[in-house]
Amino acid sequence: MTKLSKIAIICFLIIFSLMLVDSTTAQPSNDDDCPNFEGNSTNDRMGCLDSDGDGWSNPDDNWTTANGADAFPSEKTQWKDVDKDGFGDNSSIGAKNIDYWPDDRLRHKPVILIACDPASHTTTVNEVKSFSCKVTNPMESISVNLRIKWVSQDGISSDWDSKEVKLNPTGEKGHLTMFSIRNTAEKIGLSVGEVEIWVQDQNEPSAIAKLPILVTENFENEGNIIGEEVSEVFSFSRMHDGVVQVSNKIEEESGISIPTWAIYTLLVVMFSISLKKPTRIFSKPIKFSKSYKNKHKESHITDYQNFKGTSKVVVERKVEKTNKNEVVSTEFDYIPKRLRK
């Protein structure tokens, strides 16, 4: 084989290899749903255009949001909008433009309930008092991530600042949270503290509880100290606080809301049962035999006759004789005293 033949064979092999590579590159991949476009979508379609890089492809003429395309192609944290109100259904931590009512087109903002007890305080300088608060998620289909902040005005101080918590949908365990805020009075006058509930992706608090605190002068009271201590221990407010805590604990653990009046009713019923008189020994009247009844009846008749026979009162007096020496009877019926001579 000549040198020229070898060169021709080598050139032929090179050209054939290039043609083979070209052919392989031109064939579309079976995993690419958009072979004519460059893209990196992976969730709804493979290899299609994904502008925000969240894995969901941009919608086009052949693939709309109804097919599963990204409803928010420019927002990485959202891709689905069931009620088509312009707010996304993803509520995970870090998400933006959240729809807290994904099945209701008329609303999207979160609803949070807050209640604090007592609603206000009257205190003195350097005295420490607390507010007990409960925050609840009343929404049925979505959980919320929120931040609870305590903002106090001049005149009071607190070691409580804020807390972050996730609340599950209502009816589930973990749909509420409870906490206590301790405050120390520092200055005489009227002050106000606020509990603010900030829900994720909101520009304003979703709920606010304003709690007035009146700080007065510290007057020493030398009254009945024992009486004050007893009233403090056995006060109705302390009992009510305990009932409220029991109700909240049951609701927090089981998701079942039991009103305080139901607990009071149960306590009254239990107290009434404890005071119930013992049952009678004989639940039915005693039955006597016929002979016993006759004997008992005869004894009553005899006693009555004896009593009747002795019911006559006899008065005796000295025997007097008349001129004719006639004996006057010494026995006569009873004469009332007022008729006696």
Give the model confidence (pLDDT) of 22-65 as tens digits: 444 434 445 788 988 888 999 999 999 999 999 999 999 889 99
CA-nearest of 320, 196, 178 to 245 is 178
DSSP per-residue string spanning 65-83: TTTT--S-TT-TT----SS
pLDDT confidence of residue 300: 52
Q: How far apart are CA 80 and CA 92, in angstroms?
A: 13
- CATH C-level class of 113-217: mainly beta
Give me the chain's average pLDDT, please.
77
Model's pTM, two decimal places?
0.55
Average pLDDT over residues 276-300: 54
DSSP letter assigned to residue 315: B
Q: Give the residue, 288 or 91, on which the prediction is more confident.
A: 91
Question: With 90 as the cut, is the pLDDT of residue 215 above it?
Answer: yes
CA angle, residues 201, 207, 210, in degrees to nearest 5 = 140
What pLDDT sits at residue 245? 74
> What is the DSSP secondary-structure string of 145-161?
EEEEEEEE-TTEEES--
Q: How far apart are CA 133 and CA 284, in angstroms?
A: 57
Identify the pLDDT of residue 340.
Answer: 59
pLDDT value at position 101? Answer: 92
Amino acid (one-letter) located at 299: S
Closest CA to 54 of 85, 83, 86, 94: 94
Return the percentage of the chain with pLDDT > 70, whole number.
65
Residue 151: count of CB within 10 angstroms of its CB = 15
Sorting pLDDT into bands at 50, 70 and 90, what band is 326? Answer: low
